[in-house]
Amino acid sequence: MSLSSSGKPAGFVTGFDENFYLAAYPDVAAAVQSGRFASGREHYERYGLREGRTGSASPTAAWHAAASRNLVAHVAGRAFTTAADWSHPATTSAPPAVTGNALAGFFAARRSGRGIWKWQHYFEIYERHFARFRGQPVNVLEIGVYSGGSLEMWRDYFGPQARLHGVDIEPACKAYEGDGVKIMIGDQTDRNFWRDFRTEVPALDIVIDDGGHLYDQQRVTLEELLPHVRPGGVYLCEDIHGEDNAFAAYATGLAAMLSAGEVTGNSDDPDRRLVCRTSPFQASIRSVSFYPQVVAIEKLLAPVAELVAPKRGTQWQPFLH
């Protein structure tokens, strides 16, 4: 988990509202007035997200937040109005180790040498999406090189045939370049940097965005690199923190696009009873998966032109044809 600096536009696409934020949080307004922060947005990105503060009064965002809370309450089998109403048994113990997980084992054994900083629950997610690539001549990109230890972890996991690429904004990270490891220095919000990157680096099988963790960094990187991921590849973005996280909202919109498209019926053709022509996004994306603090996007091995729902059998209830 490394942090990058970058130029930032005026507001989040999801509607960060400077005036709302300063009015809602007088302590932030006072800190901005005193010069401690250049703007409310600076505070929001550096501290507010992690503190659970809300970036706007958008009715749409508020409605979705309320709806999701109600669903969580229903699943939990209890009624509540805020997250604070939940009672959780106190625990300070670490989560159980993931048995047989090579990445978790490598991380647990790292007591010296180049540093690795990961949330423990990530290793099960990595295994789910990356296991099929082990021992293959894959192209892997990690954004956020930091202290170089995770590049050693990926080498150990994917094997000697893997070609590893690292991107970081800090020039010092160039020191971790070596046999089978290429390091490029650049700002992940810079589309020109990614244009040059794509001309130098072959199509990727795996992208791991552990870079700056700000919305614009994550969004621009996804937009520039998802088309550069091979069919069957995986794009994983981690450290997506906060209930009001803008990139989580952006990824939710992508997930909704998987259900887009007009469905047509063919009552005379049971093999094509329902047909949906795919959008360009549906044609190439297999799944958008959400985990705590992580989004993983998997691409299809081959384009899918349509989704079809055949009917099979001869005995049917009369109320639906």
Helical H runs in the chain? Answer: 18-24, 26-33, 40-43, 49-51, 59-76, 102-109, 122-130, 149-158, 191-200, 215-225, 246-257, 280-284
Instruction: Give 75-85 pLDDT, tens digit per residue.
Output: 455 444 444 44
* Distance (Å, whole) CA 163 – CA 177: 12
Cβ atoms 209, 236 nearer than 8 A: yes
Q: Can you give the pLDDT at residue 260?
A: 85
Please determine, for residue 268, whether its predicted confidence score (pLDDT) is greater than 70. Answer: yes
Residue ranges per domain, the chain? 18-82, 102-240+289-302
Q: Can you give the pLDDT at residue 153?
A: 98
Please determine, for residue 155, whether its predicted confidence score (pLDDT) is greater than 80. Answer: yes
Q: Mean per-residue pLDDT for 44-65?
A: 62
- Per the annotation, the verdict on 213 as an active-site residue is yes
Please determine, for residue 132, whether its predicted confidence score (pLDDT) is greater than 80. Answer: yes
More confident residue, 169 or 16: 169
Q: Can you give the pLDDT at residue 86?
A: 41
Q: Mean per-residue pLDDT for 262-281?
A: 92
Tokens of 18: 């400077």
Please determine, for residue 124, whether its predicted confidence score (pLDDT) is greater than 70. Answer: yes
* Distance (Å, whole) CA 298 – CA 225: 13
Please determine, for residue 20, whether its predicted confidence score (pLDDT) is greater than 60. Answer: yes
Q: Would you put residue 173 in left (φ > 0), alpha (ψ -120 to 50) or beta?
A: alpha
* Greatest mean pLDDT among 62-66, 148-152, 317-321: 148-152
102-240+289-302, superfamily in CATH?
Vaccinia Virus protein VP39 (3.40.50.150)
pTM of the model: 0.74
pLDDT confidence of 238, banded at 50, 70, 90? Answer: very high
Nearest to 153 by CA among 136, 137, 169, 140: 140
For 244, residues 6+ apart whose C-beta sits below 8 A from its C-beta are 49, 52, 53, 54, 55, 61, 65
Q: For residue 206, list its beta bridge partners.
A: 140, 234
More confident residue, 60 or 214: 214
For 302, residues 6+ apart whose C-beta sits below 8 A from its C-beta are 231
- Class of residue 185 by CB neighbours under 10 A (exposed 0-12, middle 13-18, buried 19+): middle
* Distance (Å, whole) CA 87 – CA 233: 40
Catalytic residue among 74, 213, 228, 241: 213
Please determine, for residue 265, whether its predicted confidence score (pLDDT) is greater than 70. Answer: yes
Q: Mean per-residue pLDDT for 139-165?
A: 97
Cβ atoms 298, 129 nearer than 8 A: yes
- 3-class DSSP state of 274: strand
Percent of the chain with pLDDT over 70: 80
Please determine, for residue 91, whether its predicted confidence score (pLDDT) is greater than 60. Answer: no
Q: Mean per-residue pLDDT for 187-199?
A: 97
